[in-house]
Structure 1
Amino acid sequence: MGENEKILANESKVLSPQRVQYYDIAIESGKGALLRDANGKEYIDLLASASSTNTGHAHPHIAAAISEQANKLIQYTPAYFANVPAAKLAERLCALAPISGPVKLTWGNSGSDANDAIIKFSRAYTGRQYLVSFTGAYHGSTYGSLSMSSCSLNMARKMGPMLPGVVKVPYPDAWAQLPNETEDEFVDRMFAAFKLPFETYLPAEETAVILIEPIQGDGGITKAPQKFMEKIYQFAHENGILFAVDEINQGMGRTGKWWSIQNFPGIEPDLMSVGKSLASGLPLSAVIGRAEIMDSLGSPANVFTTAGNPVTTAASLATLDVIEDEHLVERSARLGKVAADFFTKEQEKFAFIGAFRMYGLDGGIDIVDPATGKADREATTKLIYRMFELGVLIISLKDNVLRFQPPLVITDEQLAQAFEIMDQAFAELQAGKLSLPANAANIGW
């Protein structure tokens, strides 16, 4: 029995079964875009810890900042006193926010509680109760963010009743457009579906916020059409509804922009939630918004003992340094084009590669049955498992979507090596050489 197997066997005795199952490994170390498991096997990381390590693993500048701060002060609750790194970071993040006018923020420990905070501030500022989110959304696992989410039945099963006042509307994702339907027709149809609740049972004047992932992450890496975003944005403003965006998965340079909402010219959020890569994977989140909204709640409505602590905020300051100094936003945009070229060529070679979407180093690649064009879960599982065996770490979303989100520091050579491995796995699938792993039924969402 190897070290991976020993660790997992011991862990299984004491860990609640909450992990989404993919591969039986225990990650031991990482550097840049490379990972090593407890057995000593190395992988090229195409997942970046669910887009929470955009700056890669163990970046020396970030590791040094963590160590230096830990030797000064690990924790003293920001609920009572300021600390130097958090104060500096607040100013810097507010300056980066794609929001005009005075901007303020509040700290949290995770993206989940950041979206809970959006609920709190939206209701406080507007004095309204109803909350609107979209199907396919993943907003988190705390009770409020869980209630706003809609990408897995296990995010609601056995836990009802959920938070009251939440209304979910259809997201205009890549699979909702009908054959021969123009984009304008698609947008009009999806906007009509969006408006239906407001016309039948949901009073707009009692609605506090519309929360959306401009580009959905766990929903399959898919971008809403610009015209749809414009329509719901205008609707929100016309009805005094706050417009909030979830940047937890898709922010921090992931899409070739600082924030995913910047892929939609002319649209500015009232509130935005940030997490994951904010501190390169350390537990830190923030809600950033218009100052008048952020002033609508007093302490201790959104105070946490450890939120915004010195070590995590020092890590975040260093993370911003790395993104800026190493031009990772621009790097994501450039390498995203390289990735799009690769998948375009693979699509021509392999009929089971359906549509794909690439926004910077942020992609979703659909694996389909060539005969029917429908999602092929078995083929997807065969592919990701074979890539894993060959030394590439990648997972699936929505049964048949390859989740492509490497660290933004991945080198050109590492990306090319990963593409060689992916091409090999594609070719082996086409040749009928791949079989399902023994635990296939448990793999994936």
Structure 2
Amino acid sequence: MSEESNRQILEKEQAAFATAARIKYYDIVIDHGHGAIITDVEGNDYIDLLASASSTNTGHAHPKVVKAIQDQAAKIIQYTPAYFANSQAARLAPRLAALAPMSGPVEVAWGNSGSDANDAIIKFARAYTGRSYMVSFTGAYHGSTFGSITLSSVTLNMSRKMGPLLPGVVKAPFPSPWDRLPAESEGQFVDRMFAAFKQPFETYLPAEETAAILIEPIQGDGGIVKTPPAFMQKIYDFAKEHGILFAIDEVNQGMGRTGKWWSIQNFPGIEPDLMSVGKSLASGMPLSAIVGRKEIMESLGSAANIYTTAGNPVTTAAANATLDVIKDEHLLERSTRLGKKAADFFNQEKAKYDFIGDVRMYGLDGGIDIVDPATGKGDVVATAKLMYRIFELGAIIISLRGSILRFQPPLVITDDQLDQAFGMIDQAFSELAAGKLDLPSNADELGW
């Protein structure tokens, strides 16, 4: 453990670290972790219900991933994949291509983060179609590079003071459950949102000049929200009808998070043309990939999508080990089983507490709405109280959209650890109901 406290280290860091580079939640400095437990520099343990923003689905310091990294680092750490293949990346590429939810020949290209994988979707979509426009959705988070930030719209701070952003990007309204009218059926809601989706194409956006539609099948930072299946089918059919590529972002929701390899597999019959992968691909090591149909991926020549370190030997060794762990330890099945357990817990809590709104759980992947019982609207104050109290009790959980608890533990979390976390959450819920919780002093600084 460090001889310095969390606060002492953070005070030193603050003098040299940019505000724009971190979303503030808790004043801790993480020192190490194992499985679903992380430990700060003062030796405090926390059950991790965030999994490093869904980038450590295999847990922290998984022995097989650690060994793969150590063994590879002892051989060679880096030689740029921009010029030469390496044995780990050469092994990984066909493995990842074989897992892709696409028919026919598939190819991959490496990146360093989900952000540049989404930038690559723009490149390949425009090159293959010869068209310029890209369509994404409100509430989306696709990354922080200039292209991916243009595609995103989860917070105004991703566009404020930076414009003009990348031209040719049009945002369609995402069918969020909070936008559904009180008396509206699911079918009516989908029809209304699809009409809103088509409006640009009917007024100012030529379909024949549109390269791709990019969507998160389940929005992550937008609130852990699954796209209504009927809406997904409609926009997919629209894309196919008009020769528009259908692209998906699997950075947050892929790699077993929902109980399937890819979140798009929760939508039978829909195959993407392109998809972005990152975060848990290499158990949190800096590696991403764009995966796509071969003819699309061959539409650009060399040097169009290369990075000095993308696909380096250590990160791809970690990714090969990650694929092994997910398969050998049956983490897809584990996510499904524990996700049902989590859904049962939160629905039981919802029956007890009127401030719990919608509970959305797709495998170990959940969004729990905290609402004002009088209005049914999201309650930012209550959410801040809850997440901070859960932190004090010994678990890491954060908020989305100000009033949604984000529940994404590592897929290796044990039943006992999950039960302990449920105990902490239930205690926080009961204390909120009893009026015993106060806001932390820096509440206005916390969250997105």
Equivalent in 345, 348, 358 of residue 348 of structure 2: 345
**Paired residues for 1:106-125 under 5 Å:** 106-125=109-128
Residue of structure 1 in register with 2:311 after alignment: 308
Residue of structure 1 in register with 2:92 after alignment: 89
- Aligned-pair identity (%): 72
Alpha-carbon distance in 2 for matches of 1:176, 1:94 = 37
Are the counterparts in 2 of residues 174 and 223 from structure 1 also a CA contact under 8 Å?
no
Residue of structure 2 in register with 1:11 after alignment: 13
Provide the secondary structure at the position in 2 that maps to 1:175. Answer: helix
1:189-227: per-residue Cα shift (whole Å, max 9, x none)?
A: 000000000000000000000000000000000001111
Provide the secondary structure at the position in 1 that maps to 2:213. Answer: strand
Per-residue deviation at 1:372? 1.0
Residue of structure 2 in register with 1:141 after alignment: 144
Matched, 1:208 2:211: yes
Structure 2 letter corresponding to 1:8: L
Residue of structure 1 in register with 2:242 after alignment: 239
What 5-or-longer segments of structure 2 have no aligned partner?
A: none
Provide the secondary structure at the position in 2 that maps to 1:137. Answer: coil
Structure 1 letter corresponding to 2:205: L
Residue of structure 1 in register with 2:276 after alignment: 273
Residue of structure 2 in register with 1:257 after alignment: 260
Matched, 1:37 2:40: yes
Structure 1 letter corresponding to 2:17: L
Per-residue deviation at 1:356? 1.1
Are the counterparts in 2 of residues 51 and 405 from structure 1 also a CA contact under 8 Å?
yes
Provide the secondary structure at the position in 1 that maps to 2:164. Answer: coil
1:85-114: per-residue Cα shift (whole Å, max 9, x none)?
A: 000000100000000000001000000000
Residue of structure 1 in register with 2:220 after alignment: 217
Provide the secondary structure at the position in 1 that maps to 2:178. Answer: coil
Per-residue deviation at 1:303? 0.4
Are the counterparts in 2 of residues 53 and 280 from structure 1 also a CA contact under 8 Å?
yes
Alpha-carbon distance in 1 for matches of 2:375, 2:156 = 26
Structure 2 letter corresponding to 1:57: H
Alpha-carbon distance in 1 for matches of 2:158, 2:374 = 33
Matched, 1:61 2:64: yes
Alpha-carbon distance in 2 for matches of 1:52, 1:224 = 22
Alpha-carbon distance in 1 for matches of 2:276, 2:332 = 19
Count of aligned pairs between the two proteins: 445
1:288-313: per-residue Cα shift (whole Å, max 9, x none)?
A: 00000000001101000000000000
Report the TM-score when normalising by structure 2.
Answer: 0.99
Matched, 1:430 2:424: no
Residue of structure 2 in register with 1:101 after alignment: 104
Alpha-carbon distance in 2 for matches of 1:165, 1:263 = 30
Equivalent in 284, 289, 293 of residue 286 of structure 1: 289
1:365-421: per-residue Cα shift (whole Å, max 9, x none)?
A: 000011111110000000000000000100000010000000000000000000000
Alpha-carbon distance in 1 for matches of 2:74, 2:177 = 48
Residue of structure 1 in register with 2:411 after alignment: 408
Provide the secondary structure at the position in 2 that maps to 1:257. Answer: coil
Q: Which runs of 4+ in 1 moved over 4 A?
A: none
Q: Give RMSD over aligned pairs.
A: 0.7
Per-residue deviation at 1:176? 1.6
Matched, 1:71 2:77: no
1:29-66: per-residue Cα shift (whole Å, max 9, x none)?
A: 00000000011100000000000000000000000000
Are the counterparts in 2 of residues 352 and 369 from structure 1 also a CA contact under 8 Å?
yes
Provide the secondary structure at the position in 2 that maps to 1:68. Answer: helix
